[in-house]
Structure 1
Amino acid sequence: MPTTTITVDTDGEQVTLVNIFTVEPERQAELVDALDRATAEVFVDDPGFVSANLHASLDSTRVINYAQWASKEAYERALARPEVREHIGEAAALAQAYDPTLVRVRAIHHA
């Protein structure tokens, strides 16, 4: 699996979408695949997109999408795109529930 360094910054306009999906364990891999495909096909070319990381819970009941955007406005512009709305609908259909929250990084710690 490729490793990339991602810059997380407490200054500036960058925002992070933390979206926690609740999913039936047998559908977790399907949801991860759908989010991964949509990120590669829909988001990576968006000018406001910075990065996305997908996390699968060890109990197979949750998928967490941690996606960085250049600004709140860039994220909102992306949401207005029809192909993004289609992607959201596909992910929502696979999940039991989801909780998207837009946040700003306030503290960073490293080992």
Structure 2
Amino acid sequence: MSPVPRTPRRTSTHPDLGDPRVGAPFFSTWRVGTPDRQRQTVDAVAEAWGRRPWPADGLLSYHVYAGEDGSTLLHHSQWASEQAYEAFVRTLRQERVDEIDTAVPGIERLGLGRYRYYRGASAGPDGRAPGCVVIVEVEFDGPDADRQRAWADAVLEALAAEPAPHPAGMAAHFHLSTDGRRVLNYAQWESAEAHAEALSAPGEGVGSATAQWQRVRNWPGLKNSTVRRYEHALGLVPA
């Protein structure tokens, strides 16, 4: 007897970034233009996925986040392997894309970032739910896996040595791009307002004027960095 297909289940719980089953975490951004189109696109994603069986045992979760800019959506999917994702692309992805594009024409897909989870740190298991996800992404001037790891390690060292940590900062989870050029920090904050407050404090961003933070900000080969805030809009997991 064939197994009964699993169905998608909506969840408000954020993903477990350090889940050891995840071998291929992916991030992508869609530009949709306006807050109304953000909401319409999230609804279209929920509809397109909800009417179909969960596509693969190798997909552990799929989450969508609305950008504070009112124009973008961040997509984060957790796959067991790249092979599982590629099989989904070959057979099941396009029908979902077509339905979403029919509901909300003109979506601009800005590319897929392939990563591997490296390590993370949290402020402690205090039971708070993150109200804001901050994506900090840095790019280096060339591929270097050792440099990716060393920079992420340096950030975590700076966080651990921070003399005045902001109480609303909850966690930082570092992902290394498979091309060796980028590091993505998926940071969890209590609220967008708290993160904006931390950025506006005297200095060069989140973090005091310590030697550890100066080292992070002046890392050799650091080409550019971006900081973007998001709100969790949709979570899907297999039922």
Aligned partner of 2:194 in structure 1 is 74
In 2, Cα distance between equivalents of 1:57 and 1:65: 11
Alpha-carbon shift at residue 101 of structure 1 (Å)? 0.6
The alignment-based identity, stated in percent, is 25
User: Which amino acid in 2 is paired with 1:15?
Assistant: C
Number of residue equivalences: 103
Aligned partner of 2:216 in structure 1 is 91
User: Which amino acid in 1 is paired with 2:14?
Assistant: V
User: Which amino acid in 2 is paired with 1:84?
Assistant: G
- Quickly say closer, same or farther: Cα 1:49–1:108, change in 2 above 3 A: same
Q: Which has the higher contact order (CA 8 A, sep 6+)?
A: 1
- In structure 2, which of residues 218, 221, 227 is the aligned counterpart of residue 100 of structure 1? 227
Hey, which of these two has a bigger chunk of strand by percent? 2
- Quickly say closer, same or farther: Cα 1:40–1:13, change in 2 above 3 A: closer
Bigger Cα Rg: 2
- Quickly say closer, same or farther: Cα 1:59–1:78, change in 2 above 3 A: same
Task: Give me the TM-score of the superposition, normalised by structure 1.
Answer: 0.73
1:1-111 to 2 correspondence within 5 Å? 8=14, 14-23=131-140, 24-26=142-144, 27-42=147-162, 45-79=165-199, 80=201, 82=203, 84=207, 86=209, 87=213, 90-94=215-219, 95-111=222-238
Secondary structure of residue in 2 paired with 1:106: strand
Mind listing any 5+ residue stretches in structure 2 that lack a counterpart?
A: 1-12, 16-64, 66-128
In 2, Cα distance between equivalents of 1:44 and 1:70: 17
Q: Superposition RMSD on alpha carbons, in Å?
A: 3.0
Deviation track 1:40-96 (CA, whole Å, cap 9, x = no partner) reads: 233994310111101111221110011011112211232215471543x54332221
